[in-house]
């Protein structure tokens, strides 16, 4: 499907909708704020339209999806903008310029959705391979045009569409994974980061194949881990553990429920030259924490980096209880004077509530601690100040 051509249709805010927030930079229009008449509902998902306020004054150019709770996403604050190949290349070029200032090698998040002015679109870069996640209807429909612009701007040889995940379901999009440009890599891609080498499976791995967001938090914990025994829970493809070993940790035990992820972690350990100090244990995190406690195992540094326990407001209370439980089970495994790093990628659980749940868990384990560092996603994951969801990642390190 090609990007629609001007002139664009119009959609209108309800009289009680907060027009000021949109004018000040909030990028979403919720379904209960938009006049969803027959004409608006007839627009194809992802269609471009000029958003008007209740007095029919143009406000912005948006994409419309009447089947989503986010019925409108602001594409451009200029209602007269034209979304075409040149517009896409300009947005991608702006995003690329920022990353090229940050990193010497092309391994990073290139596009962080709304925060980079491309709503619902995530692009991670692995050298000359780019993996895009179109989590909004407009981006899914315009995947070919986005891929073409991506190749022109970055010189990428391969563009992969990873159409999986909860966000696509909320947009009414089906899951699909395909190579749009170039050829699929025949093996995992080695990714240099924090002195270690990680192996990214960009076709079959979780999300885009690797999590770039924890890079600065990996580096901080690695600085604490010199000469330490490290336990990395929810290790994925090596996460905190490989960075710790590269910094001189004595040993690392990586725990994950996914055998393929641990296999990639082992390959990364070998590529990093630290395989002799790296061990893995497959299993449920809670079960493994309980088993390690029963075995009397102790570590100098323990990290728990789980998936989102609170992916929505409806799941918040259950998620906070899960974060508390993780802290309660992990704290007894930390040697006196050691460090416990707890992470959350749940945007619904803000920092204060996550931190409080973590502290409760540590206290219920009979331990006390001081917070020595609070971390967030790296600068290739910019935060749109008007959208709390773009600042989803929190990392809190306690010294117990």
> Can you tell me the distance from the alpha carbon of 285 to that of 257, in angstroms, rounded to the nearest whole number?
7
Q: CA quadruple 184, 2, 68, 56: dihedral positive or negative?
A: positive
At residue 5, the pLDDT reads 66
Taking residues 344-361, report their average pLDDT.
Answer: 96
Residues 61 and 152 in one domain: no
Q: How far is CA 175 from CA 2, 82, 134, in A?
A: 20, 29, 11
Conformational region of residue 283, where left means phi above 0, alpha means psi within -120 to 50, and beta covers everything else: left
Residue 34: phi, psi to the nearest 5? -110, 140
- Assess if residue 2 is contained within a domain: no
Helix axes 239-246 and 259-272, enclosed angle (nearest 10): 10
Question: Over 50: is that where the pLDDT of 355 sits?
Answer: yes
- The residue range of the domain holding 380 is 189-399
Residues 394 and 297 in one domain: yes
- Assess if residue 4 is contained within a domain: no
- Assess if residue 5 is contained within a domain: no
Q: How many domains does the chain have?
A: 3
Residues 21 and 54 in one domain: yes
Taking residues 370-380, report their average pLDDT.
Answer: 98
Taking residues 259-274, report their average pLDDT.
Answer: 97
At residue 243, the pLDDT reads 98
pLDDT tens-digit readout, 67-107: 999 999 999 999 999 999 999 999 999 999 999 999 999 99
pLDDT tens-digit readout, 302-343: 999 999 999 889 999 999 999 999 999 999 999 999 999 999
Residues 347 and 266 in one domain: yes
- Assess if residue 193 is contained within a domain: yes
Question: Over 80: is that where the pLDDT of 111 sits?
Answer: yes
pTM over 0.85: yes
Taking residues 10-18, report their average pLDDT.
Answer: 92
Closest CA to 127 of 191, 194, 32: 191
Instruction: Calculate what percentage of the chain has a pLDDT beyond 70.
Output: 99
Pair 371, 395: CB distance under 8 Å:
no
Tell me the β-bridge partners of 307.
none
> Can you tell me the distance from the alpha carbon of 231 to that of 221, in angstroms, rounded to the nearest whole number?
12
- Assess if residue 216 is contained within a domain: yes
Taking residues 188-203, report their average pLDDT.
Answer: 97
At residue 14, the pLDDT reads 95
pLDDT tens-digit readout, 156-170: 999 999 999 888 999
> Can you tell me the distance from the alpha carbon of 238 to that of 218, in angstroms, rounded to the nearest whole number?
10
Pair 121, 112: CB distance under 8 Å:
no
Instruction: Calculate what percentage of the chain has a pLDDT beyond 90.
Output: 92
Identify the CATH number of the domain in which residue 218 sits: 3.40.50.150
At residue 18, the pLDDT reads 81
Residues 238 and 315 in one domain: yes
At residue 4, the pLDDT reads 67
At residue 17, the pLDDT reads 85
Taking residues 183-196, report their average pLDDT.
Answer: 97
- Assess if residue 20 is contained within a domain: yes
Identify the CATH number of the domain in which residue 101 sits: 3.30.750.80
Which of 155, 181, 207 is the C-terminal boundary of a domain?
181
Question: Over 80: is that where the pLDDT of 2 sits?
Answer: no
Pair 186, 203: CB distance under 8 Å:
no
Taking residues 143-165, report their average pLDDT.
Answer: 96
Pair 313, 238: CB distance under 8 Å:
no
- Assess if residue 320 is contained within a domain: yes
> Can you tell me the distance from the alpha carbon of 360 to that of 358, in angstroms, rounded to the nearest whole number?
5
At residue 367, the pLDDT reads 98
Question: Over 50: is that where the pLDDT of 359 sits?
Answer: yes
Question: Over 60: is that where the pLDDT of 1 sits?
Answer: no
Tell me the catalytic residues: 345
At residue 19, the pLDDT reads 84
Pair 170, 244: CB distance under 8 Å:
no
Indicate the average pLDDT of the chain: 96
């Amino acid at each position: 499907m090609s990007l629609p051509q001007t002139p664009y249709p119009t959609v209108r805010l309800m009289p009680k909708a907060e027009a000021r927030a949109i004018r000040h930079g909030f990028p979403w229009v919720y379904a209960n704020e938009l006049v969803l008449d027959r004409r608006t509902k007839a627009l194809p998902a992802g269609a471009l339209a000029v958003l008007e306020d209740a007095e029919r004054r143009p406000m912005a150019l948006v994409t419309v999806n009447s089947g989503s709770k986010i019925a409108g996403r602001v594409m451009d604050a200029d209602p007269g903008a034209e979304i075409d190949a040149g517009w896409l290349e300009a947005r991608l070029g702006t995003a690329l310029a920022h990353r090229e200032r940050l990193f010497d090698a092309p391994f990073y998040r290139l596009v962080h959705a709304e925060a980079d002015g491309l709503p619902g679109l995530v692009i991670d870069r692995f050298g000359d391979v780019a993996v895009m996640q179109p989590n909004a209807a407009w981006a899914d429909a315009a995947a070919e045009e986005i891929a073409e612009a991506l190749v022109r701007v970055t010189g990428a040889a391969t563009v992969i569409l990873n159409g999986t995940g909860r966000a696509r379901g909320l947009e009414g999009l089906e899951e699909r994974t395909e190579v749009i440009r170039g050829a699929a890599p025949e093996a995992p891609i080695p990714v240099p980061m924090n002195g270690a080498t990680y192996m990214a499976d960009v076709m079959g791995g979780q999300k885009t194949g690797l999590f770039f967001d924890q890079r600065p938090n990996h580096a901080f914990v690695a600085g604490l881990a010199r000469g330490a025994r490290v336990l990395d829970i929810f290790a994925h493809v090596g996460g905190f553990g490989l960075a710790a070993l590269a910094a001189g940790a004595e040993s690392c035990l990586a725990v994950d429920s996914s055998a393929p992820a641990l296999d990639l972690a082992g390959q990364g350990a070998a590529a990093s030259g630290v395989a002799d100090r790296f061990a893995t244990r497959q299993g449920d995190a809670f079960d493994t924490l309980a088993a390690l406690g029963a075995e009397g195992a102790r570590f100098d540094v323990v990290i728990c980096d789980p998936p989102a326990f609170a992916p929505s407001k409806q799941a918040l209370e259950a998620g906070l209880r899960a974060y508390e439980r993780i802290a309660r089970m992990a704290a007894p495994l930390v040697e006196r004077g050691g460090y416990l790093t707890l992470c959350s990628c749940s945007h619904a659980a803000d920092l204060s509530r996550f931190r409080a749940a973590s502290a409760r868990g540590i206290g219920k384990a009979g331990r006390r601690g001081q917070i020595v560092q609070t971390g967030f996603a790296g600068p290739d994951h910019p935060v749109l100040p008007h959208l709390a969801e773009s600042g989803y990642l929190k990392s809190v390190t306690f010294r117990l």
